[in-house]
Amino acid sequence: MDIDFYSPRKLKFKAWNTQTHLLMRLNSIDCLKGELFKKDHILLQFTGLLDNQDEEVYDMDVLLWNTLKFVMYWEEKKQGWKLMSLDPLRPEELHHERVKEMTRLCSYFESQK
């Protein structure tokens, strides 16, 4: 079978260090039975999406659209990336294709410091 159509995705991660409260790129990630982890870190996967300034968007990034802030997250039930409003008065969700119109501000974890 010819699989010329297949090109493996590049898997990239950042991580929130739960001890130092810093967002960082990792030199290594541990793997146990196929599951990736790093002690004292929350792994944040690259979504494959870029914002309107060609910045990479990662899981739990805060994005600005007009005057509204949204957070990117993985919805397990639908097996896909979702954008959820951080404004409790406008709890709307947007399709991830809207990212091209948005500006990445920071990681959600950084915004909670």
pLDDT of 24-41, one tens digit each? 998 999 999 999 999 999
Q: How far lies 13's CA from each of 3, 46, 103, in Å?
A: 27, 6, 19
Please say if the pLDDT value at position 2 is more than 80.
no
Q: Which domain holds residue 63?
A: 13-111
Give the predicted TM-score (pTM) of the model: 0.86
Six token digits for residue 63: 């994005």
* Single-letter amino acid code for the residue at 5: F
**Structural domain contains residue 76:** yes
pLDDT in tens, 39-58: 999 999 999 999 999 999 99
Q: How many domains does the chain have?
A: 1
**Structural domain contains residue 7:** no
**Structural domain contains residue 5:** no
* Single-letter amino acid code for the residue at 93: E
